[in-house]
Amino acid sequence: MRRARVETTHEDASAVAAALRPDNTPSMTTDVADDVVRTVVERETAGGLGSTLDDYVVNLTVAETVVQTARGHNHNHE
């Protein structure tokens, strides 16, 4: 089994994690501690691990962008 852990820091880590969870596969777990999103991926092969991590990074980028956009939108309408 191959395993990778990805930890990223965000202003609203809970919102980023919530945006990521629907795209997680059964081989992934995501949790939040303070401002850190921590995701662990386990796959049988290095190739599978690489593919899953590639998808995760794309999803993470989108999640962070959506959360930041939503925060900006909310601040503009307060």
Provide the residue ranges of all domains of the chain, joining segments of one domain with +.
2-76
Q: How confident is the model at residue 78 (pLDDT cuts 50, 70, 90)?
A: low
Owner of token pair 């852990």: 5
Specify the pTM.
Answer: 0.85
Percent of the chain with pLDDT over 70: 92
Q: What pLDDT is attached to residue 61?
A: 96
- pLDDT, one tens digit per residue, over 16-62 is 999 999 999 999 999 999 999 999 999 999 999 999 999 999 999 99
Is CATH 2.40.50.140 correct for 2-76?
Answer: no
Cβ neighbours, 10 Å, residue 19: 20
Q: What pLDDT is attached to residue 39?
A: 98
